[in-house]
Structure 1
Amino acid sequence: MTDASSPTPLQRLWLSETIRLREEHAGPLEDAEANRLARAENGDLAERIQHRALLLARRDGQWQALLHWLQGARLAGLLLALLALLSGAGLALTALGDGRQPVNVFWVLGSLLGLNLLMLLGWLLGLLLTRDHPGALGRLWLWLSEKLARDASAAQLAPALLLMLQRQRLTRWGLGLLVNGLWTLAMLAALTTLLLLLATRRYGFVWETTILAGDTFIALTQAIGALPALLGFSLPDIDVIRASGDAAIASEAARQSWAGWLVGVVLVYGLLPRLLLALLCLWRWQSGTRRLRLDLDLPGYSLLRQRLQPDSERLGVCDLAPAALHQPQGGVSAQPGSGALLIGLELDERRPWPPLPLPKGVADAGVIDSREQRRQLLEQLTRFPPQRLAIVCDPRRSPDRGTLALLGELARSSSATRIWLLPPAPGECLDSARLADWHQALGTLGLPHGDTAPLNWLETGHD
């Protein structure tokens, strides 16, 4: 399985398309932090869109759903591969029988190659005459992948993948690789089983007809065997072919000649075409996926241009309210931090700042009150994350959603974070219910907190 921290280029494009479809159906997502982190990447618009989509997908579960979907797709592919192997072996067993009766060579060829050639013709006609579509086997694989994934967040994954691939007409090559690969396995199993049966049992070969002349079968046998003969497979001579029309010849040379002809025909007309087509589809798939790009003219991506590559920073309402509010989350920075930092968040102006003298080596970021101060601080921490961050909060204020979201963003911008709930000033009372709300909210965020100044932790990294 792909490592959860390093999606492939195709998976990044896939996630971008998934997030776009999700926002088209459910409305804009809460993406202020994702946009800020994407802008910090300093890439072009497509790279920023992909980085934003990856951040939102990891936050909301689409990345984990994609990994589950891929796991289900692999399992579905293994089930189909097993079915193909069993079907190929079953075809050979049914066609040759137990050796007690003579084997009709053309009946065997019809059993082993008939369905394969018909399906191959249908696939080629579909490739030439129709637009990209999954087909019956492709729909079965997609359905099995979704069922085996068992993740509610995977609802947009399959449609997003198909839409993305259809822009480069890659659906036909991806599913063509699946179809021809499965038929390659089936014919390989059939050929292997055929060789094992011919090596362990004695078969006699005949051909039978009622309305066709014997010369027709002689010409047909030689025409079919001409190409395998170029590869070294045996071709029965005219006398052997003519004699086999009456009864199975007991001659060992005749049996070996027919057996070699049969193996060569199955290899050349059954296995090799499917193998070559599978390799062709693989080549077209790999070359096509390398050319895949986001269609930045789509409305969903055009709306992101100003947010991810702004000409100037704007204040005010940028998007409509989302249908469902995002729950704040804690975390730590993925980048290694350095130094220690103390921040005050929306403190009473009457309270002195800093509350206590700071140890040497601990930087003071001041008290953050305005939206512009928050933005500047987050931009700075994104580029230079601290190793230890202490945030001073006033427990007399209610822990509203905006405050908790900011605490989560600050925590994700530092290697380690602690919350200092500032004790009340002498003569002031603290509401116990509101303090309990703070403890519950910070516990949900997973942030360590207390009413004791964490100065020693900021200076040394331990208490």
Structure 2
Amino acid sequence: MSSAPLSHLDRLWLCEAIRLREEQSGPLEDGEINRRARLAGPSLETRIESRALQLAERDGQRAALGHWRQGARLGLLILLLLAVLTGAGLAFAALGDGQRPVNVFWALGSLLGLHLLTLFGWLLGLLLTRDAGGALGRLWLWLSERLARDAQAVQLAPALMILLRRRRLARWGLGTLVHGLWLVTLLSALAMLLAMLSTRHYSFVWETTLLGADSFVRLTQALGALPALLGFGLPDIEQIRASGASPLREDSARQAWAVWLLGVLLIYGLLPRLLLGLLCLWRWRRGVRRLRLPLDAPGNALLRERLQPPSERLGVQDAAPTALPESRAGAFAAEAEGRLLVGIELDPAYPWPPVLPAGVGNAGVLDSREQRRQLLERLAQRPAARLLLACDPRRSPDRGTLALLGELSRSAAATRVWLLPVDTDAARLDDWRAALQRLGLAEASLDWLEKGHD
């Protein structure tokens, strides 16, 4: 078992991934897991979640989730690095090398143009299409899937989007990512601007052919009004008019234009992204807390009969899967007690049961599906501390028998197989021992039940 605890979102995410996998490739082999899931709790939601988590652990989806998260963190790191470099590039594009005067409105367009275009696009997506992830969000999902490098992770990204879109959470989660990346970009641009303005002399100018000086005066004052409320100064009217003809050489004029440019970047660039990022984060956390398993989904609705049956049904309930998993033995990890002997499809002529030591129970001989089901249900409720499975080595170790041995072993703290002392050829015994070795079970005799060692 993976030691890292799963969050509420992770559990629902794995449930959706298992549902999507069964929808695409058919029902999974889940007889033993369904029995355990029915003991998880009375509600259908609890049982579906328990079943999905056990299947995810068995088939590798839980490990794939960890790999997907590693890929997501690496993808985010790459995007953050690109954001820092992009912000620095915007600052260089805005100010240049200092050899020529800086056109303040071209510089402002370089700093805020792409930001404002993508911001309006995000708002339109939020209002019209209900998809506010944007290109950056989709790029991050694509990078996460590619960097995961796990074949079992193929359903994780689609499952996450299906789960979140049911409550329209995808736009808030990806919106947090998008605004966060833009915030880093603009912070990088602001830091680079401060560094460049602190180490070089820049002269500022505005130029026009069609518009008059009054238009630029009004525009400069309108853009500087909100920054002025936070203490950012702006050039006076004479400085604005004079900057249209030629760049002013006075330090006061240079400083006034530089402070105005920084204030406009802060108010119209960083502040909207910060506020929208916090809004998306708040809506995301609030929505995740309210997220529940969709019991009306097609795959989950079909599980009701198996996990909350009106009565136990006999016989085959599901079609055979396209591929059967290899049987493996295991051990019950929780508290277990008692010692039990079980016969597996023994010859009726064989004297059974043997004389049992004190405290050892006899579970009989399993010959029918109903007997197997009853024993598994019993062990699911009261796991055995030691379980000895007696097998007739004259029979072939077929796949069905080995699967039963593996399933029974997972209902006990310790399990051994007793190959009965009957006349059989050495080749058949070798087949059994090889099969038990692949299964992960050891041989023992009846004494093991009493003494507890091989």
Runs (4+) off by over 6 Å: none
**Which residue pairs with 2:76 in the alignment?**
77
**Which residue pairs with 2:223 in the alignment?**
224
**How is 1:51-450 mapped onto 2 (pairs within 5 angstroms)?**
51-132=50-131, 134-358=133-357, 360-424=358-422, 428=423, 430-449=424-443
Q: Is the 8 A contact 1:168 1:292 kept in 2?
A: yes
Q: Is the 8 A contact 2:190 2:265 kept in 1?
A: yes
Q: Is the 8 A contact 1:208 1:245 kept in 2?
A: yes
Structure 2 distance, partners of 1:133, 1:157, is 20
Task: Measure how far apart 1:91 and its partner are.
Answer: 1.0
Structure 2 distance, partners of 1:363, 1:197, is 84
Establish whether residue 455 from structure 1 lines up as the match of residue 440 from structure 2: no
Name the stretch that deviates more: 16-25 or 215-224. Answer: 16-25
Shift in alpha-carbon separation, 1:461–1:235, aligned structure 2, 3 A: farther
Deviations 1:258-315 (A, max 9, x none): 2221111111111111111111111111111222222222321221111100111010
Deviations 1:136-173 (A, max 9, x none): 32332222111111122222222222111111111211
Q: What CA RMSD, in Å, does the superposition of the two structures yield over aligned residues?
A: 2.1
What letter is aligned with 1:77? L
TM-score (norm 1): 0.92
Structure 2 distance, partners of 1:208, 1:459, is 98
Matched position secondary structure for 2:349: coil
What letter is aligned with 2:88? A
What letter is aligned with 2:163? M
Identity among equivalent positions (%) equals: 65
Task: Measure how far apart 1:461 and its partner are.
Answer: 4.1
Structure 1 regions of 5+ residues with no counterpart? Answer: none
Structure 2 distance, partners of 1:408, 1:283, is 48
Q: Is the 8 A contact 2:126 2:132 kept in 1?
A: no
Structure 2 distance, partners of 1:414, 1:193, is 65
Structure 2 regions of 5+ residues with no counterpart? Answer: none
Structure 2 distance, partners of 1:3, 1:248, is 66
Task: Measure how far apart 1:224 and its partner are.
Answer: 0.4
Task: Measure how far apart 1:65 and its partner are.
Answer: 1.8
Structure 2 distance, partners of 1:118, 1:199, is 29
Task: Measure how far apart 1:5 and its partner are.
Answer: 5.5
Task: Measure how far apart 1:3 and its partner are.
Answer: 5.4
Structure 2 distance, partners of 1:52, 1:119, is 43
Task: Measure how far apart 1:253 and its partner are.
Answer: 2.3
What letter is aligned with 1:453? S
Q: Is the 8 A contact 2:133 2:178 kept in 1?
A: no
Structure 2 distance, partners of 1:284, 1:102, is 45
What letter is aligned with 1:326? P
TM-score (norm 2): 0.94
What letter is aligned with 1:379? E
Task: Measure how far apart 1:200 and its partner are.
Answer: 2.0
Q: Is the 8 A contact 2:122 2:133 kept in 1?
A: no
What letter is aligned with 1:73? A
Q: Would you say how many aligned residue pairs link Structure 1 and Structure 2?
A: 454
Task: Measure how far apart 1:247 and its partner are.
Answer: 2.6
Task: Measure how far apart 1:52 and its partner are.
Answer: 0.8
Deviations 1:105-151 (A, max 9, x none): 11111001001001100110111011337543233222211111112
Deviations 1:43-96 (A, max 9, x none): 311111111111112212222222212221221111111111111111112211
Establish whether residue 39 from structure 1 lines up as the match of residue 38 from structure 2: yes
Establish whether residue 14 from structure 1 lines up as the match of residue 13 from structure 2: yes
Q: Is the 8 A contact 1:332 1:412 kept in 2?
A: yes
Q: Is the 8 A contact 1:132 1:166 kept in 2?
A: no
Structure 2 distance, partners of 1:211, 1:311, is 82
